[in-house]
Chains A and B, each alone.
Chain A
Amino acid sequence: MHYQGDYYWGYYMPTRSIGSDPMERVVKLASEKAVVIFSLSSCCMCHAVKRLFCGMGVNPTVYELDQDPRGKDLETALMRLLGNSQPVPVVFIGGKLIGAMDRVMASHINGTLVPLLKEAGALWL
């Protein structure tokens, strides 16, 4: 798992230059890595999602929004995106929105998750 901290962001993305639109940020961050998880460090369901991917041998990129200075905005954006009261966890694979925990599990059960992961290069076996 890669945790993205302020320093990392500061290095790659001067926060002022990218539009302050949180939604854009979300999309941008999501498309940079094969598997992106937006999370909160205190959220147990996020922990479950992380364990799910690690259990499959996937190395997801995790953004802990409570450790981001503008995390609140991102949370709001995610809530709008999903139409959900829970902003996290939200999973993107290959830049595409998969959804919250229920969608992730549904896609794993119906067998569509693994092909997506392979397609995004997150899984080789």
Chain B
Amino acid sequence: MANHRVGETGLTDSGPSSNHHHHHNIPYAVLHGMNVPPSFMHQEGSAFDFGELEEAIVLQGVKIRNDEAKPPLFTAGRPAATLEMFPSWPMRFQQTPRGSSKSGEESTDSGSGVNTISSKTENQVEPESPISKKTSSLDQQQQVEMASDISRTGTSQNQSAAAKTPQEKRRGSTSEKQLDAKTLRRLAQNREAARKSRLRKKAYVQQLESSRIKLTQLEQDLQRARSQGFFLGGCAGTVGNISSGAAIFDMEYSRWLEDDQRHMSELRTGLNAHLSDSDLRIIVDSYISHYDEIFRLKVAAAKADVFHLITGMWTTPAERCFLWMGGFRPSDLIKMLISQLDPLTEQQVMGIYSLQHSSQQAEEALTQGLEQLQQSLTDTIAGGPVIDGMQQMAVALGKLANLEGFVRQADNLRQQTLHQLSRILTVRQAARCFLMIGEYYGRLRALSSLWASRPRESMMSEDHSCQTTTELQMVQPSQNHFSNF
């Protein structure tokens, strides 16, 4: 708006003025380093505005004057006061004594005089005040006055308003009717200007907030995509962070997660509908084959990029905390389930504890095997004279290839554990058990999302809208995470 108007009026004068073109939403007072009370800066559509304050003050003054039955006059003294307010803005306008030129027109606005904004353009002034971007119908000289009024602090405004009233008292030649109309019109224009200013500020703040939300969402998406290996344009192999095998697995895994949701809701409805055991068995078996599928996918992924699995970059951060050899630790899973699987028969209890025991032994064996691999690798590449570096590296590469075997065995262990669970438990118990497993990992994934979007205390003082936006984010996570709750 500012630039447009400047173009119209052709004003390109002083340096300080031209700088103001772009600050159309920063209050003049702040721009010029005036001491603005914080309450004036943080109003977003609040009821308080300068127009109303001034109106109240002036009306009070009017009331006093009316009581005195000697209506003072707004005269050309006002423009002088206005000019003093903006010493850095050379005003190129014709100085006409306001009283004489306007009295004729204003006599038509009798006592009501609230909102008649006449389209006078007797002055070619472009005030360039940030607040004074009024509609072209407003009187420009009055724009200047309004700008000065609105951007003043409350105290100085009080002072100037108070200063006006003695001035008004001194020149007591205009009729009471004129004064009222003029004052009222000016008040109305002030209100209008203040309202417009509020609206502009509100719009700007809303724009800022929505941009902020968008930015944080974009960052989240980018982070998620990086950790899951999605890249635009399918340039997965070339972008260095992630191999094509890993990218393919990440895509398959995310599809698997969607399937997981579907299976879980099937389990849930199946349990709630009290299906027969044979019907429920079908659902449970399909859930087991659903898990068999991910283990199959992981075999191929281990072959393609074992480090992607081992480092857990295919999972979420919270899941990564509990990672063991590229996946969940079976004995941990059983520990989690044991308390929730009641009631169990004695035989079942023994079966579960024996399962936990044997999986612990198997995990320990695999861990020790991996430790030996690490030791062997260290021995190969560490120290010693680097007589044949390439040979050394070749041997090390061969040893590193064994990682794939360990991840495969770990996945095998996971698969066997799930199968054994379904053998020990009854159909209903197995359905509940798998539902519990699915929900547990769903919550772990949700935890990761919440963690990523949690509000940070250090940002609170800088930007008090931060809290709002992060709260918004926290209620927005994907269906995957919260459908179980």
Interfacial residues, chain A to chain B (CB-CB below 8 A): 42, 44-45, 47-49, 51-52, 55-56, 86, 101-102, 105-106, 108-111, 113-114
Q: How far is the CA of A108 from the CA of B420 in the complex (A)?
A: 11
Q: Are B362 and A108 in contact (CB under 8 A)?
A: yes
- Knowing A48-B366, A56-B361 touch, does A105 contact B413 (C-beta < 8 A)? yes
Q: Are A51 and B368 in contact (CB under 8 A)?
A: yes
- Residue B369 contacts which of A48, A102, A111, A114 (CB distance < 8 angstroms)? A48
Interfacial residues, chain B to chain A (CB-CB below 8 A): 351, 354-355, 358-359, 361-362, 364-366, 368-370, 372-373, 376, 399, 402, 405-406, 408-409, 412-413, 416-417, 419-420, 423
Interface of B is mostly: helix
Which residue of chain B lies nearest to A102 when distances are taken between CB atoms in the complex? B412
* Minimum Cβ distance to chain B for residue A3 (Å): 17
Which residue of chain A lies nearest to B365 when distances are taken between CB atoms in the complex? A52
Q: Are A109 and B416 in contact (CB under 8 A)?
A: yes
Pairs of residues from A and B, 9 with the lowest C-beta to C-beta distance, nearest first: A48-B369, A52-B365, A109-B416, A44-B373, A51-B368, A51-B365, A47-B372, A44-B372, A48-B365
Q: Which residues of B contact A56 (CB under 8 A)?
A: 361
* Minimum Cβ distance to chain B for residue A59 (Å): 16
Q: Which residues of B contact A47 (CB under 8 A)?
A: 368-369, 372
Q: Are A105 and B354 in contact (CB under 8 A)?
A: no
Q: Which residues of A contact B420 (CB under 8 A)?
A: 109-111
Which residue of chain A lies nearest to B360 when distances are taken between CB atoms in the complex? A55
Q: Are B359 and A49 in contact (CB under 8 A)?
A: no
- Residue A110 contacts which of B361, B366, B402, B419 (CB distance < 8 angstroms)? B419
Q: Which residues of B contact A48 (CB under 8 A)?
A: 365-366, 368-370, 372, 406, 409
Q: Which residues of B contact A55 (CB under 8 A)?
A: 361, 364-365
Which residue of chain B lies nearest to A108 when distances are taken between CB atoms in the complex? B358
Show 19 residue pairs from A and B whose CB-CB distance is below 8 angstroms, ordered by the A residue: A42-B376, A44-B369, A45-B369, A47-B372, A48-B372, A48-B406, A51-B364, A51-B369, A52-B361, A52-B364, A56-B361, A101-B409, A105-B416, A106-B412, A108-B361, A109-B358, A109-B413, A110-B416, A111-B420
